[in-house]
Amino acid sequence: MDAPFRGGNGVPAITPPDAHAPRVLPAVPAPEDLRALRSALGAFATGVTVITAFEDRLPVGITVNSFASVSLDPPLVLWSVANTATCAEVFRVGTAFCVHVLAAGQDGLAMNFARSGGDKFGGLSWEHGDWGAPLLPGCTAEFHCEVDARYPGGDHTIILGKVLAHVVRETPPLLFHRGHFREF
C-alpha cells in the first residue's frame, strides 16, 4: 500500500483530491460547477457549422456545434440556440435555414459567426441560394432546411429542422474539441 500523502514540516496527512471522481451537481449550481460542466462537455468532439437564415431580407448567421441528425424518414435534424443569442427568434416555425458544415481551414469563418450581432456578412462572398437561406461557399456539406418545431431546453431552445435538400463534398471537416478548432 502507498505511504499516506504528507505535507512538509510534519503537516498532517492530506487526501489529495481525485480528479476523476464524479463531480455531483448541486440543485443550485455555483458558477464554478457550471464552468466544470462546460469543460467536461468540451470532451465531446464535434464538427462545426454555421447556420444562416434571412430576417427581414437581411442575412443572419450563427456558429453552432450542437447540430445533430435525428431522423431519416422523415428527414429531421436538430440544433439548439441560446435564448440570449440575438438571432434566437429568427428561427420560427416555417423559417428556411441552411446548415453549413465547415471544412478544415474555415475556423476564421467560425469565429466570424461566433460574434454576437452586427453585420457578419460584410466582406464575405455569399449568395441568396435556391432554398430561402443565405449560402456561404467552401463548406463540406449543406443541409437546406425549414424549422419544423421549437422545444424549450433550459437556457437554450431546441430547433427541429426538416431537411429539404443537401449537398456533400469531399473536403475534410473542421473539428472542435476542448475549446479548440482541430483538423484530422
Ligand X SMILES: Cc1cc2nc3c(=O)[nH]c(=O)nc-3n(C[C@H](O)[C@H](O)[C@H](O)COP(=O)(O)O)c2cc1C
Write out the residues near ligand X by the rule CB under 6 A.
48, 62-66, 79-82, 85-87, 110, 114-117, 176
Q: Which is nearer to ligand X, 42 or 75 (CB)?
A: 42
Locate 153 and state its grid cell: 431546453
Q: Which is nearer to ligand X, 14 or 105 (CB)?
A: 105
Output the smallest distance, CB 77 to ligand X, in A. Answer: 13
Q: What angle do CA 29, 35, 37 make, to 5 degrees?
A: 75
First to last CA, the chain: 43
Output the smallest distance, CB 165 to ligand X, in A. Answer: 22
Output the smallest distance, CB 117 to ligand X, in A. Answer: 5
Answer positive or negative: Cα dihedral of 39, 41, 45, 50: negative
* Alpha carbons 26 and 127: distance in angstroms, whole number: 48
Q: Which is nearer to ligand X, 52 or 63 (CB)?
A: 63
